[in-house]
Structure 1
Amino acid sequence: MYFWNSYPFVRLTIVLILGIVCFDQFPFIWNTPIQILSTGILLLSISTLISHRYGFYKLRYLNGILAVAIVFYFGGTLTQFNYRAYSQNHYTNIQSKISGFSGTISSPVNERTNHFRYDFELDQVIASDSMINSSGKIHLYVRKDSATTLLKYGDHLIIAGSYYEIPGPDNPSEFNYKSYLERQGIYGHSFVRSDQLRITLNDPPNLFLNLAFNLRNSATQTIDQHIPSKRENGIAKALLLGIKDHLDNDVKKAYSSAGAMHVLAVSGLHVGIIYLLIQLLFGKLRKSGKWGKRLFGLISVLIIWFYATLTGLSPSVLRAATMFSLVAVSQATAREGNIYNTLGFAAFILLLFDPYLIYSVGFQLSFAAVIGIVYLQPKIYRLIDFRNFFLDKAWAITCVSIAAQLATFPLSAYYFHQFPSYFLVSNLIVIPSSFLMLVGGVFMLIIDPIVPIIGHIVGVVLHKFIWVLNEIISYVHILPNSLIEWIFMDKISLIFIYLCVISMISGLHFKSFKTIITSGIFGLLIISWNLLSNEKQSTENELVLYEISGKTVIDHIQGHDATLYVDDYKEEELELLDFQINPHRLSRHLRPIKETISTLRNQYFERKEAITSGQIAGKRIIIFDSTTFHLAFKNPIESDLIIINNGSVKSLKWLNENFPSKQVVIGNKNSVYYSNKMKVQAAELGLSIHSLKDDGALRINLAENMKEERTYMPAQLIK
């Protein structure tokens, strides 16, 4: 009954998270947040006063309910204040046509294939030949060319051009990049050339961040100097500074298959290594009385935040630095008994600054991994007792890996749909290696400006060490079945799995048979939910026309079978098709497209002149690929679906008279001008058409006679 009394911040954080999530789903509850919060605090104050002054101790239950309600509502209110609509001068609320804007670079450069990307804080926009004060952050893409120079944090720019809303997903189950950026406060982007912008001054808005970015730039130059080869250079920058711009896809795939991807993202593992090094160097201070503990805590916090500053204060490092700083402070004050409450406090503080962190994959994985390691690792470690020192240390590292994987597997399956088979083997090598590389790398960055020759020697050794690790990881990657892919888990299954696991652990910990039974019920719910999903899928029969630039792509899904029809494709284009189509295939428990792909030039389709026609699932489909002469036919040719490509049809009236169809689609091979022109004609004739570029993918339920579903809307110009 009193179990939760020892975990106040765990309770508060859970309630705060519920408030944040509920605001996203039911924002209308927060119509008058200040008034409701004020009323709640007033009622709690009165109730607390009465219960203490007059001894009505039964009111403590009411006090508890009121406190929970206030924290819950505060979570939603906090989210509302961070939402763009709360600011009246936010750029998304400006309705006029934009011809220019100004603002400040608020991040270091992120190098892309053809552009340099920056976070850009707007301060004014030019609309209707007047300057309007504005606020909000966009992504600014500056095209790479011979005249492009790198911009610096704090550069104030005046830009000729406009910005656009970030497009949402055009295809079903595709990654929602728009939502991802909105939760970081970014609602628009702008693509410009170097001749469209002018730097007026450099005035960093935050001197501490400016110092952090300058330190990271200096560290980057040191790494470039001592680790010249491209692959090892990219690994060193990712490992030491969290810069992933220079990692190629082969390296990412190899580390992902080996279960070592966490090494390439500066986060909890790296800050944990720094904290472990602090304990090795200054641990004796904790045994020298109260002031020794306090000095240890101060040194720990200073070194942790120095490293965080060196890496540029990325969000993942800020999370880890906050977490380990609180652990260090709790140890310094001799209050190290309740690590869970410390973690709860860290999460609470982080969410106060950014409530949308709860949706961050890194945030979720970090806390899940730490909780799993703290609770499960000691219990797994005690299962086997090795007397040999080296075997014991290897077993301890293995236990850390097992605990972290057990805690994070449901999240990893939900987000990444894969599982590394050899994670135990690779982490036996990667975790000790990352310790040595991180310590050696930080030492190189510190000593190089002081004694360059030592910095160079350390750099050479580090270069060779990283090369050896890369070769080992590459070998693990090519082992048979190194990566189990195509794992699907939806939100309902994810929630049920964690409830099942938490109930089982709680039942065993507290020896509660009822809680174990509850875990079994959740397990049955997982099975039932998946059986229902499979049963529903078995009755599906639909066509999906995907929005893929320059392609006609039709997916016929019937039950658990699917066939993808593509007009034409090259082998190197399969990766793009995978990225845009496979998420939908996976969500429907279907096979990947590589196993089911076919062309529209097969036994089911025939091409005559400018027209390709054929049947899928008994439905007649006609595709216009090149200009027709718009002749009048004696007998109209009926079809179920017409796809128009390459601006081949000039008159919808002619099309409707000679090729009557239940559904007309403007395909992916048309210009925006043509699509708009056809929409005007359709409106005049009272016809219904679907433009894949404008309206996104089209799903047609064959069981309901070619019924159209339009659910994917692209972005429009933010005026």
Structure 2
Amino acid sequence: MNKVMKYPIYPITFSYVSGIFCGFYFKLPNSLVLSIALLSFVGLLFLYILQRNKGFNRKLNVLTILSVFFAFSSLGFLSYSFNNKPVIIDNLNEKEFTIKVTDVLKSNAYSHRMYADLVSEKQEPKVLVTFSNKEPIPKVGNVYKLVGTIKKVPEPRNLYDFNYSEYLSLKNIHYQITTYNQSFKIAEEKSFQSVIVSGRDYLTAQFYKLGYSEKTQGFIQALLFGIKTNLNDEIQQQFKDFGILHVLAVSGMHVVLLFSTISYVLRKLRLSKNLITIILIIFLLIFSLMAGFSGSVVRAALMCLMTIIGTFAGRRIHTINLLVGSMLLILLFDPNYLFDVGFQLSYLAVFAIVFCYPVVQHYFTFKNWILNYFGQLVGVSLVAQLGVLPLSIYYFKQIPLLFLIGNIIAIPITSFLLCAWFIQMLLSLISVKVFAFFTPFLSWISTFCFDSLSRLSDYYSVKTIDYHITILQTVLALLMIFTLFWFFQKKELYKVYVFLSIVVFFQLITLKNITENKNKQEVVVMSDANNVVITNRVGSKIHQIGKVNKFTLQSLKNYELHTNSKVKSIDSLQNSFVLNDKKWLIIDSLAVYPKQQFDYVVLHQNPKINLDRLMQNVQPKMILLHNGNYQYLVDEYVEYFKKRKIPYHDMRTKGSYVINYN
């Protein structure tokens, strides 16, 4: 209790984070939450006045902690609520739009993608925009006039698919505009963001002048600034297979490396401490801006800034305090950072290193400096990977098996290249010809890194294990890991009881999930762009009807992972069949069907049929409109079914159809 009162940043941050989670999962009236916040702060003030002269006592301490929790959790709730106000565009029939580009995403095989402000709307909401990649790549600040369609970002098409609409909603993006017509650039508006992007583009263009290949340039841009739009897909896949994709995302490691390099060079130049401090602060601010304020970069930059301030103030610096303090500052600025995967993994990895690594550090310490370097690298990599493993499994559904080899190879090389390329980039502003002398050597090192990973990737056939855990299992697994290290910090019996309790709880949750899946029986008509695909699951066995395309195959794998089941048999699709004592009819473009009763009818391949006759002859209990049908036909079907109050399911808008037999 005394420690909590000594470091109030811990309960304040915990409470604020809890409030943000409550805002995400629960909908409460803001007026009610505001009333709780005001009452809690009044209570805190009263407790402070009451104890100012008498000192703290145990009973009042409990009341103080409760007041802090309710006060700051209410603030977290309100902060999340105000930052995520729903945006509603009334006229979704609009065809002409004016947009201003705010962020350019990686283009795919068919189109350019970007985030933009919809300036033709009064509120200027953020939207996702897609147009043809035959046109020039858009730039931040460009204003376009385009003709297209606007709609809400769709929900996942199949069970357990990635929820892209939820991901975008945390960026306050709820609508997307798609156009297949030519877009017209009508202006180039200068803004603070466009100036930063232009500066970043100017710096990255230096590597073209220095003579690097396109493949290497894409790698440099990802490493230095987190720009993945030009990153080679093969390189990205290699780093993903080895579980070291974080190396290609500008992270806290990059910030600390560059911060340390600049600090070392400036000290060698014998500059004054005040000037060095000013240069370092300016570097942290500019680099954070150029890296797009990613969660891990902001975390590392804030921790470095707080270290500088603490050193100037003559205060003792605790890394854990810096970690918690920087988290609170970031979430006060934008509570949606809490749901950013990079933000979560970054903080968890650093916390694992700070909290867990000292317990095992002596096992990885050697007298020889080379052995000591690689020993420390292995130790830190193992602890960091163990700390983020449950969260990594939850988000990516994979356990990387080669992460240690990948870290041993990639981290020393990329750390050297990061510093070398940063210095070369700055010096090339003085003379490109002189400092292009180092290009062949640095290119050879980067190629050596790619080739080494490629050979190892070819050598190991199994690189990952597909696995899935629920959010509750994730939390319990994290608690198990950190409780185990907590015990070895100072061995006490009650910690053993805490650890065993968490293990038992984890096993009970796992057993519950296994039992539920074992007794589950359901039929799913999957959302596939071309084919009708039906899965009949009984416990852990899936009977598949119809062939899937490569996109739906991934959805099927997700379904297998989440339900702990496997496809045991595959049958070709027939026009009519019986499934679980229910009659199914598939009507395709031929529009031929028998005159008998069916329970479920799937309209597929744009059948042009007389709906009155179909209802009279077949008398279906449910009509499924496959998402491969033309939109105008679906609109006609929907209008007919609504008029006659016939049950239907439009797979284009609602995704897969699930029949639960439990």
- With structure 1 as the length reference, what TM-score do the two structures score? 0.85
The equivalent residue for 2:110 is 114
Show the counterpart of 1:135.
Answer: 124
Q: Does residue 276 of the first structure (1) align with residue 239 of the second (2)?
A: no
Deviation of 1:416 (Å)? 0.8
Correspondence for 1:580: 555
Cα distance in structure 1, aligned partners of 2:592 and 2:497: 73
Q: Give the Å deviation of 1:666.
A: 1.8
Q: Quote the residue 2:648 is aligned against.
A: 689
| Structural mapping, 1:406-421, within 5 Å | 406-421=386-401
Contact 1:109–1:151, Cα closer than 8 Å, also in 2: no
- Matched residues in 2 for 1:234 and 1:523: separation? 45
Per-residue deviation, 1:158: 4.5
Partner of 1:173: 160
Structure 2 residue 539 is the aligned partner of structure 1 residue 613: no
Q: Distance in 2 between matches of 1:520 and 1:59?
A: 32
| Structure 1 residue 524, shift from structure 2 partner | 1.0
Q: Structure 1 pair 349/659, CA: closer, same or farther in 2 (3 Å)?
A: same
Confirm whether residue 259 of structure 1 aligns to residue 243 of structure 2. yes
Q: Is the 8 A contact 2:393 2:468 kept in 1?
A: yes
Note if contact 1:642-1:664 (Cα within 8 Å) is conserved in structure 2.
yes
- The 3 A distance-change label for structure 1 pair 283 and 499 is farther
1:349 Cα deviation after fit: 0.7
- Contact 2:219/2:232 (CA < 8 Å) preserved in 1? no
State the distance in 1 between where 2:269 and 2:390 align: 40
Match of 1:459 in 2: 439
> What aligned pairs does 1:156-555 form with structure 2 within 5 A after superposition?
156-192=143-179, 195-204=182-191, 206=192, 209-226=193-210, 228-278=212-262, 280-281=264-265, 292=273, 297-555=277-535
**Matched residue type, 1:442:** F
Q: Which moved more, 1:218-227 or 1:176-185?
A: 218-227
User: Could you say if the C-alpha distance between residues 73 and 107 of structure 1 is closer, same or farther in structure 2, counting changes exceeding 3 Å?
Assistant: same
CA separation of 1:549 and 1:108: change in aligned 2, threshold 3 A: closer
- Once residues 556 and 104 of structure 2 are traced to their aligned partners in structure 1, the CA distance between those partners, rounded to angstroms, is 33
Alignment-derived partner of residue 600 in structure 1: 572
Whether 1:68 aligns to 2:57 is no
Residues 51, 373 of structure 1: alpha-carbon distance in 2 compared, 3 angstrom cutoff: closer
Query: For residues 465 and 511 of structure 1, what CA distance do their matches in structure 2 show?
Result: 46
CA distance in 2, matches of 1:444, 1:383: 37
Helix, strand or coil at the partner of 1:383 = helix
Give ranges in structure 1 of 5+ residues lacking alignment.
126-132, 606-611, 705-719
Q: Report the Cα offset of residue 529 of structure 1.
A: 1.1
Conserved? CA contact 1:23–1:29, under 8 Å:
no
Distance 1:177 1:314 in 2: 19
Whole-Å separation in 1 of the counterparts to 2:290 and 2:597: 68
Partners of 1:55 and 1:470 lie apart in 2 by: 63
Query: What per-residue deviation string (whole Å, max 9, x for no partner) do you get for residues 641-688 of structure 1?
Result: 322212325123322332344433222331122222222332344421
Question: 5 Å matches for 1:537-686?
Answer: 537-566=517-546, 568=547, 573-574=549-550, 576-591=551-566, 596=568, 598-600=570-572, 605=574, 612-628=575-591, 636-648=595-607, 650-686=609-645
**What per-residue deviation string (whole Å, max 9, x for no partner) do you get for residues 328-353 of structure 1?**
43344443441111111100011011
CA contact (8 A) 1:226 1:459 kept: yes
2-side partners of 1:691 and 1:310: how far apart?
44
Offset at residue 166 of structure 1 (A)? 0.7
Q: Which amino acid aligns with 1:588?
A: T
Counterpart secondary structure, 2:177: strand
Residues in 2 aligned to 1:118 and 1:668: alpha-carbon distance in whole angstroms:
26
Distance between the aligned counterparts of 1:54 and 1:369, measured in 2?
A: 42
Report the alpha carbon displacement of residue 95 of structure 1 after superposing the two structures with TM: 5.3
- Whole-angstrom CA distance in 2 between matches of 1:655 and 1:198: 50
Counterpart contact for 1:262–1:269, Cα < 8 Å: no
Q: 1:247 to 1:515 in 2, by over 3 A?
A: same
Alpha-carbon distance, 1:415 to partner: 0.7
For residue 315 of structure 1, report the CA deviation from its aligned partner. Answer: 4.8
Q: Distance in 1 between matches of 2:42 and 2:184?
A: 53
- The DSSP-based 3-state class of the residue aligned with 1:382 is helix
- Are 2:480 and 2:502, in contact at CA under 8 Å, matched by a contact in 1? yes
2:536 aligns to what SS in structure 1?
strand
Match of residue 13 from structure 1: 13
d(CA) in 2 for partners of 1:538, 1:202:
59
Q: CA deviation at 1:527?
A: 1.1
- For 1:152 and 1:436, the matched residues in 2 are separated by 31
Contact 1:160 1:197 in 2 (8 A): no
Hey, what does 1:708 align to over in structure 2? none
**Identity within the alignment, %:** 21
Distance 1:111 1:328, change over 3 A: farther
2: distance between equivalents of 1:78 and 1:561?
46
Shift in CA distance, 622/220, structure 1 to aligned 2, threshold 3 Å:
same
How much has 1:61 moved relative to structure 2?
Answer: 4.0
Q: Offset of 1:124 from its aligned partner?
A: 3.8
Aligned twin of 1:46:
46
Check 1:672–1:194 CA distance in 2 against 1; reply closer, same or farther (3 A cut).
Answer: closer
The residue that corresponds to 1:609 in the other structure is none
Q: Distance in 2 between matches of 1:96 and 1:692?
A: 20
CA contact (8 A) 1:628 1:648 kept: yes
TM-score by length of 2: 0.92
The CA distance in 2 between the partners of 1:509 and 1:297, in whole Å, is: 36
Deviation per residue, 1:45-75 (Å, 9 max, x gap): 2342243368796645433322221111000
Please tell me the root mean square deviation across aligned C-alpha atoms, in Å. Answer: 2.8
Cα distance in 2 between the residues matched to 1:388 and 1:654 = 86
The aligned residue for residue 711 of structure 1 is none
Aligned pair count reads 661
Amino acid at match of 1:643: V
Give the 3-state SS of the residue equivalent to 1:643 in structure 2. Answer: strand
For 1:619 and 1:223, how far apart are their aligned partners in 2?
A: 64
Contact 1:422 1:482 in 2 (8 A): no
How far, CA to CA, are the matches of 1:489 and 1:21 in structure 2?
20
